[in-house]
Amino acid sequence: MSDLSADRVSVAFAGLSALSEVDLKVTSGQIVGLIGPNGAGKTTLVNVLTGFQPATEGTVRLDGQPLSGLKPHEVRRRGIARTFQGGRLFRDLPVIDNLEVTGVGLGLSRAAAIAEAEAMLDWVGIAPLADRIAGTLPYTDERRVAIGRALMRKPAFVLLDEPAAGMSAQEAQDLSALIRRIASEMGCGVLLIEHNVGLVLDLCHHVVVLDSGVVIETGGPAAIRASERVRHAYMGTAADTNLPVLEVME
């Protein structure tokens, strides 16, 4: 059992507060959702957790050990992987190479990296696309490549930044089945940042809601669904809307 936590993490850009004393914890096999309106600081928090952005205050810990000062690739070597909004694949490279270079970068021999990349493509369900140039794929497949790349060498934690953005309901369903398997079959702790609130409430064991850099609510999906504060943050008013409407709006 592993756990990844943010302890009273604050980030300020030129004096403006992007995150303020945020606490968050993910453990192995758990799917934690991170939601909040645009500009709430979700991606900033992921950047802090993965070493892309130093925290102004507070600490990120992996199994109690602080990760402060580590570079992104050092964080990745310790088993914390992430995806990026929009995929950020090596678009000129074949799909298999996208995964292979990750395996090689993480210390595998080439042969071992190729073998693991092939197994991983199969696992995320896109084995037939191995030799396609990554930039030519439809975005649903691109997301799977990005997830497969993040899962190379079986990280203990994977942070998914808006994996379902722009997907239809059916496509999002297929994706959530995959995310579930990442937690249950692979035993990864998953932090899911997503605008599709319905998807998050459906998938996650625990949800953290950010607004303007502050955690305004945490709890199980039922508690989040019932929260007046969450509704308020999303709608800007306490109008008598309910969350299914939010899904449509997203």
Chain residues binding other proteins by CB under 8 A are 72-73, 76-77, 84, 88, 90-93, 97-98, 100-102, 104-107, 110, 135, 149
- Looking up tokens 């794929």 gives 137
Distance CA 10, CA 97 (A): 37
Give the residue from 207, 209, 151, 226 showing the smallest Cα distance to 181. Answer: 151
- Looking up tokens 């604050």 gives 10
Instruction: Choose between 11 and 75: whose C-beta lies nearer to other proteins.
Output: 75
Residue 36 structure tokens: 């909040």
Backbone angles phi, psi at 52, to 5 degrees: -80, -20
> How far apart are CB 135 and other proteins at their closest, in Å?
6
Instruction: Choose between 68 and 168: whose C-beta lies nearer to other proteins.
Output: 68
> How far apart are CB 73 and other proteins at their closest, in Å?
5
Residue 229 structure tokens: 């504060």
> How far apart are CB 133 and other proteins at their closest, in Å?
10
> How far apart are CB 51 and other proteins at their closest, in Å?
9
Instruction: Choose between 114 and 203: whose C-beta lies nearer to other proteins.
Output: 114
46 CB contacts (<8 Å, ≥6 apart)? 34, 52, 82, 159, 161, 191, 193
> How far apart are CB 113 and other proteins at their closest, in Å?
8
Instruction: Choose between 134 and 203: whose C-beta lies nearer to other proteins.
Output: 134
| 102 C-beta neighbours (distance < 10 Å), count | 23
Instruction: Choose between 103 and 189: whose C-beta lies nearer to other proteins.
Output: 103
Decide if 160 contacts 147 (C-beta within 8 A): yes
> How far apart are CB 103 and other proteins at their closest, in Å?
9
Distance CA 148, CA 174 (A): 15
230 CB contacts (<8 Å, ≥6 apart)? 209, 216, 217, 224
> How far apart are CB 163 and other proteins at their closest, in Å?
17
What letter represents residue 117's amino acid? A
Q: What residues form DSSP beta bridges with 133?
A: 94
Instruction: Choose between 8 and 110: whose C-beta lies nearer to other proteins.
Output: 110
Instruction: Choose between 109 and 173: whose C-beta lies nearer to other proteins.
Output: 109
Distance CA 24, CA 32 (A): 9
